[in-house]
């Protein structure tokens, strides 16, 4: 039976559209206010009540923050750490998910529950042991250390996300490839991954954004400016030499500089992102 389409001016449809607009305004207003504040002068940014549009728009906060942060180097650090960590977690979590979806072994249910349950462990619980271990291993203040800990956080997420994709792929494909002499890794990378590419891409993107936004480990495990990430730099927002007030305009400009690199990526892949999430939602 075909679904009934509501008329354009139907009260239910109008109510749904009004609720959607309210939700969009609620989500977009903080970003708008941050953008507006970044365009204000230092005096106007500190003024109360706050204005919703700058009286004399200026970009003076952006060059100040870019120079103080060594922005391009910090941006490169963030892309490197978030990208490699997301890639590694997607691959390792995907291989584990593929094994769980295809193999039967003793303790499988218990191990699955352990992997999924590890996602509920608060980061604060593991922060101390990781810091002490990194100190002994000389991984403090290194990009490798951040990549490893971000990967450890992302592997259970990738495992859980990709498990449903791989389980829905017929096992006959694996058997046919095995008859042709393909190893498990050959089957995984040449057959399974291309078929489940939407799910793999969505998983990578979600982990990349999570790494981009990570603060706790990035702040605790790095020391020098040369290894800092963007989120940590925002916490270390500089103060003007001639000012003794909170630099709201600099904080807002820093927030925009963190957000802006993600905007073209999300706009470019938003369709694939939605399709991948929905595809995963209907798989059994």
Domains of the chain are: 70-281 (1.10.3720.10)
Please state whether the predicted TM-score (pTM) of the whole model is above 0.75: yes
100 and 112 in contact (C-beta within 8 Å)? yes
Residue 256 has pLDDT above 50, yes or no: yes
For residue 241, what pLDDT is reported?
62
Mean pLDDT for the stretch of residues 240-258: 80
Angle value at C-alpha 230, between 55 and 123, nearest 5 degrees: 125
62 vs 178, residue with greater confidence: 62
pLDDT tens per residue across span 99-134:
888 887 888 888 888 888 888 888 889 999 999 999
227 and 143 in contact (C-beta within 8 Å)? yes
Distance CA 211, CA 83 (A): 8
């Amino acid at each position: 039976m075909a679904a009934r389409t509501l008329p354009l001016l139907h009260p239910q449809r109008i109510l749904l559209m009004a609720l959607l607009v309210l939700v969009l305004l609620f989500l977009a207003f903080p970003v708008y206010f941050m953008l507006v504040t970044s365009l204000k002068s230092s005096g106007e940014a500190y003024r109360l009540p706050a204005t919703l549009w700058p009286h004399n728009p200026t970009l003076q906060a952006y060059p100040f923050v870019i120079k103080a942060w060594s922005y391009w180097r910090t941006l490169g650090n963030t892309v490197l750490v978030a990208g490699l960590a997301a890639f590694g977690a997607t691959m390792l979590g995907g291989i584990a998910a593929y094994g769980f979806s295809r193999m039967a072994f003793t303790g499988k249910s218990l191990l699955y529950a352990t992997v999924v349950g590890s996602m509920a462990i608060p980061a604060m619980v593991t922060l101390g042991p990781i810091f002490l271990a990194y100190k002994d291993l000389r991984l403090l203040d290194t990009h490798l250390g951040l990549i490893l800990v971000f990967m450890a956080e992302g592997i259970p997420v990738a495992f859980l996300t990709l498990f449903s994709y791989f389980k829905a792929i017929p096992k006959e494909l694996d058997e046919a490839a095995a008859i042709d002499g393909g190893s498990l890794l050959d089957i995984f990378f040449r057959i399974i991954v291309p078929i489940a590419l939407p799910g793999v891409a969505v998983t990578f993107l979600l982990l990349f954004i999570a790494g981009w936004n990570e603060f706790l480990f990035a702040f605790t495990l790095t020391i020098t400016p040369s290894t800092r990430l963007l989120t940590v730099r925002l916490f270390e927002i500089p103060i003007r030499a001639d000012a003794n007030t909170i630099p709201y305009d600099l904080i807002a400009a820093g927030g925009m500089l963190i957000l802006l690199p993600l905007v073209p990526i999300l706009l470019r892949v938003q369709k694939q992102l939605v399709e991948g999430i929905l595809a995963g939602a209907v798989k059994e």
